[in-house]
């Protein structure tokens, strides 16, 4: 079953810390329970999104990489 | 507040300002307050007429380091000033100029870029830093 994504963040070709900054900005407008999908090309984003999820309490629902593009799905708590 | 990140900015080169801007944005993204205190050459870099200028790099960067920085910038990396502006939109980020450095450089607040919130003395900075860590850059 495909997840229903409320907001998509394209952070491809952005260097640290912009993938996290753009995501945190998107979360400010997201409704509680909404899913936010992020695509990024910064390899550091894997650990960054795990840490950001833990620090903010917004669960990381999916994480993966395909063709050098990292994809994360997070849920607003 | 104990989780406040207090940054004392002393150096005015683009590499150190960029590093500090990244720390600031990262802290803002995880909900940590940031209090930045601008002294000496860092303060000079925040002058409205100079903030977008080339401020060079620390001596240890060398020619290769400067070339690497230029490559990142031409690949679309946000400037440190833009990174700080975004961090301020995102979270609790305060940027204050050191009043002694304002005197030293003969500056008024109107000479500074609007990203700077105000001017304060060291006691006000210490109060804002609380019992949290202070990082000197």
How many contacts (CB atoms, under 8 Å) link A and B? 42
Q: Alpha-carbon distance B64 to B67, whole Å?
A: 5
Q: If you average pLDDT over residues A52-57, what whole number do you get?
A: 96
pLDDT on residue A3 = 79
Chain B residues bordering chain A (beta-carbon distance below 8 Å)? 22, 25-26, 28-31, 72, 75-78, 83, 86-87, 89-91
Active-site residue set of A:
16
B chain contacts of residue A18, beta-carbon cutoff 8 Å: 25, 78, 83, 86
pLDDT on residue A1 = 57
B chain contacts of residue A52, beta-carbon cutoff 8 Å: 29-30
Which chain A residue has the Cα nearest residue B89? Answer: A25
- Find the CATH number of the domain harbouring B39: 3.40.1260.10
Q: Which of B3, B18, B26 to mutate to test binding with chain A, by most A CBs within 10 Å of its CB? A: B26
Q: Alpha-carbon distance B31 to A55, whole Å?
A: 8
ipTM value: 0.83
The DSSP bridge pattern shows strands A60-66 and A69-75 to be antiparallel
Q: If you average pLDDT over residues A29-53, what whole number do you get?
A: 96
Q: If you average pLDDT over residues A55-71, what whole number do you get?
A: 96
Q: Looking at the structure, give the CATH architecture of the domain made up of residues A5-75.
A: 2-Layer Sandwich (3.30)
Whole-prediction pTM? 0.91
Q: Could you state, in order of their start, the residue ranges of all structural domains in chain A?
A: 5-75
Which chain B residue has the Cα nearest residue A15? Answer: B77
- In the sheet with B134-136, reading across from the earlier edge strand, the strands are B118-120, B93-98, B34-38, B5-9, B134-136
Look at chain B and report how many structural domains it folds into: 1
Alpha carbon separation from B18 to A38, A53, A77, B83, B124 (Å, rounded): 24, 24, 31, 8, 25
Alpha carbon separation from B40 to A3, B57, B64, B98 (Å, rounded): 52, 16, 27, 8
Range of the domain at B52: 5-136
Contact A21 B87 (CB under 8 A): yes
Q: Alpha-carbon distance A44 to A7, whole Å?
A: 22
């Amino acid at each position: 079953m495909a997840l229903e994504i409320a907001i998509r963040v394209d952070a491809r070709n952005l260097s640290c810390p912009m993938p996290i900054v753009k995501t945190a900005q998107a979360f400010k407008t997201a409704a509680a329970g909404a899913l936010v999908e992020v695509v990024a090309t910064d390899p550091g984003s894997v650990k960054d999104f795990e840490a950001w999820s833990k620090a903010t309490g917004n669960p990381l629902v999916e994480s993966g990489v395909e063709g050098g593009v990292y994809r994360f799905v997070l849920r607003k708590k | 507040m104990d989780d406040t990140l207090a940054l004392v900015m002393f150096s005015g080169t683009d590499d150190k300002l960029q590093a500090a801007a990244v720390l600031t944005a990262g802290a803002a993204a995880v909900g940590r307050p940031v209090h930045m205190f601008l002294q000496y050459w860092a303060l000079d870099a925040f002058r409205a007429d100079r903030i977008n200028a080339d401020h060079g790099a620390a001596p240890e960067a060398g020619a290769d380091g400067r070339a690497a920085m230029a490559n990142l910038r031409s690949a679309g990396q946000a400037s440190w000033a833009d990174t700080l502006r975004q961090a301020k939109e995102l979270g609790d980020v305060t940027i204050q100029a050191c009043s002694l450095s304002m005197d030293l450089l003969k500056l008024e607040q109107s000479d500074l870029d609007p990203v700077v919130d105000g001017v304060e003395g060291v006691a006000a900075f210490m109060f804002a830093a609380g019992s949290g860590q202070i990082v000197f850059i």
